[in-house]
Amino acid sequence: MIGKAEGPPISITGLGAYVPDRVLTNAELSTLVDTSDEWIMERTGIRERRIAAPEQALTDLALPAAQAALAQAGVEGKDIDLLLCATVTPDMMFPTSSALLADTLGARDAAAYDLLAGCTGFMYALAQAYGMLVGGLAKRALVVGGDILSRILDWDDRSTLVLFGDGAGAVVLEAVPEQGFLGFELGADGAGGANLWLPGSGSRIFDDGDRLVKMNGPEVFKFATRVLVSSAEAIMERCGVTIDDVDVYVPHQANKRIIDHATRKLGVPSDRVVINVDRYGNTSSGSIPLALADAAAEGRLKPGKLVLMTGMGAGLTWGSALIRWTKEMAR
């Protein structure tokens, strides 16, 4: 799916993020599995990641992120009439994390549901909220992306354990006088689904029902380097912009090598790229909003800046959005 945003201008007016306190370093991981700081840094660029406390579930990470986003937008829960939560690790399958969050935030009039699109979930949710706002079905949306992947990792599998971390982010979307989203490109390829999957997590019965993440790392690497580039190029072409116009590039934070490859191929100057994978690892649905929050904290998201975001992940899925930023985000 690809589309230029031709409806009334819609933008991000609030942004928040949250990561758990517990830092898990590469050195500590090397006491759990046969790995080393040197291997992880060289192959992934990840130095450390955050891990949720045993009593924390997804909504506990999402709530402070959502509250920060609402505060920045200057609105309250009651002002939200659409709440989407992109995650592959909800508190439970039902009630949805979105419904639980809507209740806690006091969003009594909100449609609330979870959305599953692997690590691309946040990009899918942005596009869906945009469509509902433009279609007049909702006035103000809260879009949350977050995961506690540490709960579904195989803690004996060094090839996946070192890559992921826990975290969440949230944005408020609403109408603005001008600018905002320019367009979206989203895609999926189920044929590659078994390269990154969670067998035993749904209604299909597997002999090995351990419900832990399994990944073909080299295949996912090839996929990721391909789609980060092709999706970004497609949306830029559709919206009539070039890479020289992009002020801030926010790629999915899976692996520094994947980001470097995409950055090189696209021709993005390195000072325009947002990278925090070194501190958080791959936080799945939390990755892009966490990176946006970091960019905001560094003073890089200013009105008029053109921001390119591209996510990719399980499904296999990918998704890009272009947005002309409209709000000064506090440092």
Active site residues: 119, 252, 282
> Any contact of residue 44 with ligand ACO (CB under 6 A)?
yes
Angle between helices 256-266 and 217-239 (to 10 degrees): 30
Stretch that binds ligand ACO, among 48-56, 89-97, 234-242, 250-258 (CB under 6 A): 250-258
Q: Which of residues 155-174 bind ligand ACO (CB under 6 A)?
A: 158-159, 162-163
Instruction: Compute the least distance from the CB of residue 207 to ligand ACO, in Å.
Output: 24
Q: Which two tokens stand for residue 66?
A: 């959502």
DSSP E strands, 26-103: 48-50, 82-86
The distance from CA 258 to its chain's CA centroid, rounded to whole angstroms, is: 16
**Separation CA 248–CA 255 (nearest Å):** 18
Amino acid at 209: G
Binder to ligand ACO among 224, 259, 268, 274 (CB under 6 A)? 224
Identity of the residue, 119 or 268, whose beta carbon is nearer to ligand ACO in the bound complex: 119
Given the complex with ligand ACO, which of 77 and 286 has the nearer CB atom?
286
Q: Is the dihedral of CA 90, 91, 92, 95 positive or negative?
A: negative
Q: Please, what is the minimum distance in Å from the beta carbon of residue 21 to ligand ACO?
A: 23
Q: What is the smallest separation between the CB atom of 9 and ligand ACO, expressed in angstroms?
A: 30
Cα 156 to Cα 16, 30, 33, 34, distances in angstroms: 33, 11, 6, 9
Interaction between residue 284 and ligand ACO (CB under 6 A): yes
Candidate residues 221, 249, 280, 318; the one interacting with ligand ACO per rule CB under 6 A: 221
For the chain, the residue count is: 331
Whichever of 103 and 219 has its CB closer to ligand ACO, that residue is 219
The DSSP 8-state label assigned to residue 208 in this structure reads: S
Residues 173-202 that bind ligand ACO (CB under 6 A): 196
212 binds ligand ACO per the rule CB under 6 A: no
Closer to ligand ACO by CB, 104 or 159: give it.
159
Residue 277, SS3?
helix
Q: Residue 58, interface with ligand ACO (CB under 6 A)?
A: no
Beta carbons of 154 and 210 less than 8 angstroms apart: yes
CB of 310 to ligand ACO, least distance (A): 12
- Does position 255 interact with ligand ACO (CB under 6 A)? The reply is yes
Six token digits for residue 115:
């959305």
Structure tokens at 142: 């809260």
Distance CA 167, CA 48 (A): 13
Contact 50, 164 (CB under 8 A): no
Nearer to ligand ACO, 64 or 217 (CB): 217
Tell me the per-residue interface mask from 98 to 137 with ligand ACO, x by CB under 6 A, - otherwise: --------------------xx------------------
Strand-pair category, 111-115 with 82-86: parallel
Q: What gap in Å lies between CA 83 and CA 230, rounded to an integer?
A: 30
Q: Is 218 in the site for ligand ACO (CB under 6 A)?
A: yes
- Binding residues for ligand ACO, rule: CB under 6 A, are 35, 39-40, 43-44, 118-119, 158-159, 162-163, 196, 215, 217-218, 220-221, 224, 254-255, 258, 282, 284, 313-314
